[in-house]
Amino acid sequence: MKDKTIDYILRATWQAVSRMYNEEAAKYDATMATGFALLSIDKEEGTPSTALGPRMGMEATSLTRTLKSMEDKGLIVRKKNPTDGRGVLIYLTEFGKEKRDLSKNTVLKFNETIRKHVSDEKLKHFIEVSEIINELIQDKNIFNQTEKSENE
């Protein structure tokens, strides 16, 4: 069998995880993006709308669409930021807090299941490799190689 590329494995795995979360969310008339947004909003203090995009790694247009849908479903409310009149804080409604708990339990169940099937050592290696990949990308060391690799 031909070796799969690292990016293929990452992409295929993420697509499977994304599909799994979206299928679960669909049971509750939601999406993975909605669940992730619920988890990213501080349930007591609210969260500035401008902080959500970077926190979630989501583009502004996608975030706007997600927040609009969440507002329409009664999951969130927007209020003016009292310390910055131009800004908006996003707060969870009571219904939003209920759905946040559901999202949290879904993520915990996924993590628990993975931990049952993957040893601590393998999980540690997976996290280490993921961190290295992210660092290489962040530091722009993929196509502009200036450092020696671990294998050299």
Domain assignment of residue 35, yes or no: yes
Report whether 37 contacts 67 (CB < 8 A): yes
Give the other-Cβ count within 10 Å of 71's Cβ: 15
Percent of the chain whose predicted confidence (pLDDT) is above 90: 76
pLDDT score recorded for residue 151: 59
Domain assignment of residue 86, yes or no: yes
pLDDT score recorded for residue 16: 98
- The SS3 call for residue 92 is strand
d(CA 48, CA 52) in angstroms, rounded, equals: 7
Domain assignment of residue 96, yes or no: yes
Report whether 93 contacts 79 (CB < 8 A): no
Domain assignment of residue 143, yes or no: no
Report whether 41 contacts 53 (CB < 8 A): no
Question: Which tokens hold the place of 139?
Answer: 């530091």
Domain count along the chain? 1
Q: Which of 83, 84, 103, 86 is nearest to 41 (CA)?
A: 103
Question: Is the pLDDT reported for residue 99 higher than 90?
Answer: yes
Report whether 90 contacts 28 (CB < 8 A): no
Look at the chain and count its residues: 152
Report whether 81 contacts 74 (CB < 8 A): no
Domain that holds residue 59: 19-138
Residue 127 belongs to a domain with what CATH number? 1.10.10.10
Question: Is the pLDDT reported for residue 1 higher than 50?
Answer: no
Domain assignment of residue 145, yes or no: no
Domain assignment of residue 103, yes or no: yes
Which residue would you say has higher pLDDT here, 37 or 151?
Answer: 37
